[in-house]
């Protein structure tokens, strides 16, 4: 690889070296690589900053949706973690149904054309409330996932994945017969000892 110098007074008048096509390509790739890394770091910082800003607006209350199609439940897999349903925190000044539609659109880009039915309101351990809605969709809704999720699938109730949010599972069992909901141990933890859905 050639070493390139900026012209200095003692370099004036000397014959300049030509830069080969291979050298140009090499430097172009190096610059592109550095810019790509810088962009990744910037995007990561922006996402983290946005998450921190978003969490300041969050209340202790949250919403979740049982989106059913052909007797199957839409489940989302959190990145590197457990499976659950579309759910999230209610923001300050937001009604539960507004929060539900926002969270669903953010996580899956699905926009509902009918209003889901509220089937459960329960108090959470942290003092907030959890609102659970259900909707039976005649059309197959195909999610486009956000960065918080890595996979999605429609599951029959008796065939839910093992690593499933145990709090949501508890609510499912209260609305659907145990014979339709796979019997999981409600205290199953992952390798780190954390309980799913906390």
Supply the pLDDT for residue 198: 35
- Tell me if 78 is assigned to some domain: yes
Average confidence score pLDDT of the chain: 78
The structure's pTM equals: 0.66
146-179 residue pLDDT tens = 999 999 999 998 899 989 999 999 888 877 765 5
87-97 residue pLDDT tens = 999 999 999 99
Supply the pLDDT for residue 193: 40
- Whether pLDDT at 62 is above 80: yes
Supply the pLDDT for residue 143: 96
Same domain, 45 and 116: no
35-48 residue pLDDT tens = 676 666 655 555 55
Same domain, 96 and 46: no
- Tell me if 107 is assigned to some domain: yes
Same domain, 112 and 139: yes
> By C-alpha distance, which of 141, 147, 54 is closest to 94?
54
pLDDT category, 56, cuts 50, 70, 90?
confident
70-87 residue pLDDT tens = 989 999 999 999 999 999
Alpha-carbon gap, residue 84 to 64, rounded angstroms: 9
CATH label of the domain that carries residue 125: 3.90.79.10
- Whether pLDDT at 60 is above 90: yes
Tokens 């990145």, located at residue:
79
Same domain, 88 and 42: no
Supply the pLDDT for residue 113: 85
Same domain, 100 and 129: yes
Alpha-carbon gap, residue 60 to 189, rounded angstroms: 24
Same domain, 27 and 100: no
Range of the domain at 27: 18-54
Supply the pLDDT for residue 35: 64
Q: How many domains does the chain have?
A: 2
Same domain, 75 and 163: yes
Q: Which two tokens stand for residue 33?
A: 């690589």
Same domain, 37 and 134: no
């Amino acid at each position: 690889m050639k070493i390139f110098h900026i012209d200095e007074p003692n370099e004036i008048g000397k014959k300049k070296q030509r830069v080969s096509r291979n050298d140009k390509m090499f430097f172009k790739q190096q610059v592109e690589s550095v810019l790509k890394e810088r962009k990744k770091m910037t995007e990561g910082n922006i996402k983290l900053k946005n998450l921190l800003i978003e969490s300041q607006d969050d209340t202790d209350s949250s919403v979740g949706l049982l989106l059913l199609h052909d007797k199957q439940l839409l489940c989302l897999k959190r990145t590197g973690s457990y499976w659950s349903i579309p759910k999230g925190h209610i923001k300050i000044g937001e009604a539960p149904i507004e929060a539900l539609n926002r969270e669903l659109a953010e996580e899956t880009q699905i926009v509902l054309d009918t209003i889901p039915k509220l089937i459960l309101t329960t108090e959470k351990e942290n003092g907030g409330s959890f609102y659970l809605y259900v909707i039976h969709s005649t059309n197959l809704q195909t999610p486009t996932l956000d960065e918080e999720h890595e996979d999605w699938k429609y599951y029959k109730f008796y065939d839910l994945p093992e690593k499933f949010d145990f709090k949501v599972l508890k609510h499912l069992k209260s609305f659907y017969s145990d014979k339709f909901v796979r019997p999981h141990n409600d205290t199953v933890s992952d390798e780190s000892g954390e309980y799913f859905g906390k």
